[in-house]
Amino acid sequence: MWFRLMGLLLLLMLFATRAAATSLDVNLSRHAVRAGLAQQLSSASLEVGGNWLHHIDDGDVLDAALHLVDVPEPGRGALELGVGGKLLFINADDPDVEGAALALGGKVRYTWPTFNRFGIGAHIYYAPAVSSLGEVKRYFEGALRAEYLILQHANVYLGVRTVRIGDDRRNETRTFDAGVLGGLRLDF
């Protein structure tokens, strides 16, 4: 029940913010679907967002994210970096693991200046035991993808992702999701 309430709270937070730019990102792998929404706030370079990862066998992970996103080389715009964190709500099956974690990390995206339809992106987040609550002992997420701009505001991509969750009761870390994925990102 608390998992659904957190999801509703996350959606309300996202739609209540004033946005300068919005991105909708959906991707599929063999056993999982992930949907995310990110909004760049009009003040500074802050970006707020949230994602829902549903694995057909392993459960759900919801996150609310806050990043400082900027271009380290003003004028070129080819490289975009984001640093920040995610507040995660985890409801994993087999075995039942429920809890929350605060993961810190970042993301990077590079678009080739001479061929600006192609880009690569990656992200990595980690939550140790000290920032994890409930039955979650630790959390790790990493992904790498290649993007292609098909329309002015639409990218398709292929990539790989791994999500690992530490279980406090069994004192082990197991793979929640791993493998190849394909997706679509729409920018408004």
CB 134 within 8 A of CB 99: yes
Q: Which residues have CB under 8 Å from 75's CB, separation 6+?
A: none
CB atoms under 10 Å from CB of 20, counted, come to 11
> What's the CATH number of domain 2-187, 2.40.160, 3.30.70, 3.40.1620, 3.90.1750?
2.40.160
Residue 113, pLDDT > 90, answer no
Residue 75, pLDDT > 80, answer no
Q: Mean pLDDT of all residues in the chain?
A: 87
Chain position carrying tokens 């991105």: 23
Who has greater pLDDT, 183 or 11? 183
* pLDDT given at position 8: 54
What is the average per-residue pLDDT within 44-60?
92
Give residue limits of the domains in the chain. Answer: 2-187
* pLDDT given at position 174: 85
Greatest CA separation for the chain: 52
Most confident of 18-27, 37-46, 132-141: 132-141
